[in-house]
Amino acid sequence: MSRNAESTAFRSALEVIRAVEPRVADAIGAELTDQRESLKLIASENYASPATLLAMGNWFSDKYAEGTVGRRFYAGCQNVDTVEALAAEHARELFGAAHAYVQPHSGIDANLVAFWAVLADRVESPALKKAQVRQVNDLTEADWFALRRELGNQRMLGMSLDAGGHLTHGFRPNISGKMFDQRSYGTDPATGLIDYDRVAEAAREFKPLILVGGYSAYPRKVNFRILREIADSVGATFMVDMAHFAGLVAGKVFTGDFDPVPHAHIVTTTTHKSLRGPRGGMVLCQPELADQVDRGCPMVLGGPLPHVMAAKAVALAEARRPDFADYAQRIVDNAQALAEGLLRRGAKLVTGGTDNHLVLIDVSGYGLTGRQAEQALLDSGIVTNRNSVPQDPNGAWYTSGIRIGTPALTTRGLGTAEMDQTAELIHTVLTQTTAGANADGTASKAKYNLDPDLADKIARQATDLLAPHPLYPAIDLA
Ligand SMILES: *Cc1c(COP(=O)(O)O)cnc(C)c1O
């Protein structure tokens, strides 16, 4: 394929859009410029390939396809069947999974499908059996009422939000926290690491139906073999949410005890983070949960997004190529180079480093809140996000941490030398930023002072760092 084809495809697409609503075409073009010019260190973002992006922009978007491959509630789904079956096959092969369900629209949807598949398997099915009926519609009013109460009275043990867990793992404002009686495990205050003995103790005391592993802001490997043993010891179903690190599993950086797929009963993921696919979700599971997982619609979902399933098939095919393993290794090499660069300059890092794609800086070491640090870095052309650190004194809004990740910059081709320069830029901004004061003289958690000339200078240096690694080099919209 000529590189010219990519340019022509996107240019033509914008021309077609511009004829209807030019402001949308302009915004799409402006977004490319922004993404090209900023040093993107958001740990959950990436840059999908042109093939993945183009697979989404077409008439598959128009199709309803409730059901599963070959068993649809709508006619005319043969082409959707083709792409859904392909995406699932690539997912099974890539991750060595017995079963893959590629319909979830996002990570949160994948988790809801997984939670309800487990509830259906472990709570609903036994109730149906006991009542000697085949499906819930056949239950008496009294049995249905009792089952609903039981479904709503189950326990989940997951990682706490401030230790790096995700809000879908039982955080009260999220539906998962309202569905389940949740308890969380944290990390050891001294080391910042998961203390498996404490997790085992919590599991013994609490006896959860589901033990959840996985995280959004924990910079270390997790031993999924040990978590599975803990789950087994209390009869819990072991679920892993690998939304953040699926790319490292796909690229065989996480193997053995650190690969969740052979150890978990059920694994959920997003497809757009380190996996570098379209925005979406996916569930992998052991054979005994497959039927329940495939009932994601009507359990949780309506119609799938066939255009996104097509893009999942493309991205998963890309992830099966040998160069994806090389990409995954470079993500970790880069994160470690960034961590070392920051440590050498005196930054304080949660757990003292990283063995995955992300680094969590405790910015209290610079006398700043996460909010102040995030804004000062943004002024300097460096895009990150603030994040709680364990036992965060500033809460989930202001926070004391900055989370940075390397999947996106690694896609652009930046390497370890550039990570050291990135560490220098970040450290310079954070040392030159000071906390601001409120009008009454008290310390502000949001206001900060940073010389705008310095911010401009850093932003130019960030752009220089990116210049040798153009984003979507084949695409020229001019
Ligand atoms: C990002 C993330 C999700 C949610 O994914 P969305 O696609 O934004 O819904 C769920 N779980 C974890 C661990 C995540 O990091």
263 is in an annotated binding site: no
Q: 9 in a domain, yes or no?
A: no
φ and ψ at residue 20, rounded to 5 degrees: -100, -55
Kindly state whether residues 242 and 101 are assigned to the same domain: yes
Relative to the CA of 109, which ligand 1 atom is closest? 9
State the burial class of residue 65 (Cβ atoms within 10 Å of its Cβ: 0-12, 13-18, 19+): buried
Using the 3D structure, point to which of 262, 284, 319 is the last residue of a domain: 319
Q: 458 in a domain, yes or no?
A: yes
301 is in an annotated binding site: no
Q: Compute CA distances 438 → 373, 435, 441, 448, whole Å.
A: 17, 10, 5, 10
Q: 268 in a domain, yes or no?
A: yes
Domain count across the chain = 2
Relative to the CA of 165, which ligand 1 atom is closest? 13
Candidates 216, 218, 279: which one to mutate for ligand 1, based on the most atoms within 8 Å of Cβ?
216
Q: 372 in a domain, yes or no?
A: yes
Residue numbers annotated as active site: 64, 66, 241, 270, 273, 279
Residues 6+ apart with CB under 8 A from 320: 90, 93, 94
pLDDT tens digits along 21-59? 999 999 999 999 999 998 999 999 999 999 999 999 999
Relative to the CA of 280, which ligand 1 atom is closest? 7
161 is in an annotated binding site: yes
Share of the chain above pLDDT 90, in %: 97
Taking the C-alpha atoms of residue 234 and residue 47, their distance in angstroms, rounded to an integer, is 41
Residues with CB under 6 A from ligand 1: 44, 106-108, 111, 166, 168, 214, 216, 241, 243-244, 270, 281
Taking the C-alpha atoms of residue 104 and residue 111, their distance in angstroms, rounded to an integer, is 9
Q: 154 in a domain, yes or no?
A: yes
Kindly state whether residues 176 and 291 are assigned to the same domain: yes
Kindly state whether residues 338 and 433 are assigned to the same domain: yes
Q: pLDDT at position 337, please?
A: 98
Relative to the CA of 44, which ligand 1 atom is closest? 1
Using the 3D structure, point to which of 301, 319, 337 is the last residue of a domain: 319
279 Cα to the center of ligand 1, angstroms = 10
Q: Token digits for 341?
A: 């660069």
Kindly state whether residues 309 and 378 are assigned to the same domain: no
Q: 34 in a domain, yes or no?
A: no
Answer yes or no: are the C-beta atoms of 387 and 402 closer than 8 Å: yes
Kindly state whether residues 153 and 267 are assigned to the same domain: yes
Average pLDDT of 388-408? Answer: 95
What average pLDDT does the chain have? 96
Kindly state whether residues 285 and 396 are assigned to the same domain: no
Average pLDDT of 251-259? Answer: 98
Q: 308 in a domain, yes or no?
A: yes
Share of the chain above pLDDT 70, in %: 99
Q: For position 342, which CATH number holds?
A: 3.90.1150.10
In the structure, what pLDDT confidence band is assigned to residue 2 with cuts at 50, 70 and 90?
low
165 is in an annotated binding site: yes
107 Cα to the center of ligand 1, angstroms = 4
pLDDT tens digits along 65-78? 999 999 999 899 99
Q: How far is CA 445 from the centre of its chain?
A: 28
Kindly state whether residues 301 and 383 are assigned to the same domain: no
Q: pLDDT at position 3, please?
A: 61
* Residue 417 reports pLDDT greater than 90: yes
Q: For position 198, which CATH number holds?
A: 3.40.640.10
CB atoms within 10 A of CB 40: 24
Domain carrying residue 379: 324-466
Residue nearest atom 3 of ligand 1, based on CA coordinates: 107
From 296, 251, 342, select the one nearest 119 (Cα to Cα).
296
pLDDT tens digits along 186-223? 999 999 999 999 999 999 999 999 999 999 999 999 99
Kindly state whether residues 293 and 202 are assigned to the same domain: yes
Q: Token digits for 5?
A: 């084809």
CB atoms within 10 A of CB 207: 12
Q: pLDDT at position 150, please?
A: 97
45 Cα to the center of ligand 1, angstroms = 11
Candidates 102, 167, 168: which one to mutate for ligand 1, based on the most atoms within 8 Å of Cβ?
168
48 Cα to the center of ligand 1, angstroms = 17
Kindly state whether residues 304 and 329 are assigned to the same domain: no
Relative to the CA of 216, which ligand 1 atom is closest? 15
Q: 395 in a domain, yes or no?
A: yes
476 Cα to the center of ligand 1, angstroms = 32
Candidates 44, 108, 274, 358: which one to mutate for ligand 1, based on the most atoms within 8 Å of Cβ?
108
* Residue 1 reports pLDDT greater than 60: no
Kindly state whether residues 283 and 401 are assigned to the same domain: no
Residue nearest atom 6 of ligand 1, based on CA coordinates: 107
From 385, 465, 328, select the one nearest 36 (Cα to Cα).
465
Taking the C-alpha atoms of residue 135 and residue 455, their distance in angstroms, rounded to an integer, is 63
In the structure, what pLDDT confidence band is assigned to residue 478 with cuts at 50, 70 and 90?
confident
Residues 6+ apart with CB under 8 A from 42: 383, 384, 385, 405, 408
Using the 3D structure, point to which of 260, 289, 319 is the last residue of a domain: 319
Written as one letter, the residue type at 128 is L
Q: How far is CA 466 from the centre of its chain?
A: 24
Residue nearest atom 12 of ligand 1, based on CA coordinates: 243
Kindly state whether residues 261 and 334 are assigned to the same domain: no
Q: pLDDT at position 157, please?
A: 98
pLDDT tens digits along 113-138? 999 999 999 999 999 999 999 999 99
From 183, 178, 184, select the one nearest 159 (Cα to Cα).
184
pLDDT tens digits along 355-387? 999 999 999 999 999 999 999 999 999 999 999
* Residue 165 reports pLDDT greater than 80: yes
The two most distant CA atoms of the chain are separated, in Å, by: 75
Kindly state whether residues 189 and 95 are assigned to the same domain: yes
243 Cα to the center of ligand 1, angstroms = 6
